[in-house]
Amino acid sequence: MAKPKKISIIVSERIERRIYLIRGQKVLLSPDLSQLYEVEPRILI
């Protein structure tokens, strides 16, 4: 029998605090993104 996947809810406020406006573009840096997804930054490459 398959192991159930871990489900986590990410609060939108937590995401919004990590979004930066750089040269008119909204940017989420990879270290912040990796923390939100609870993975190592190298996984995102």
Q: Is residue 18 part of a domain?
A: yes
Which pLDDT score is estimated for 43?
87
Q: Is residue 7 part of a domain?
A: no
Q: Is residue 23 part of a domain?
A: yes
- pLDDT tens digits for 9-44? 667 888 889 999 999 999 999 999 998 888 998 888
- 23: containing domain: 12-44
Q: Is residue 1 part of a domain?
A: no
Whole-structure pTM over 0.85, yes or no? Answer: no
Domains identified in the chain, total number:
1
Classify 6 as helix, strand or coil: coil
Cα angle for residues 14, 6, 9 (degrees, 5° grid): 25
Q: Is residue 3 part of a domain?
A: no
Q: Is residue 2 part of a domain?
A: no
Which pLDDT score is estimated for 3?
61
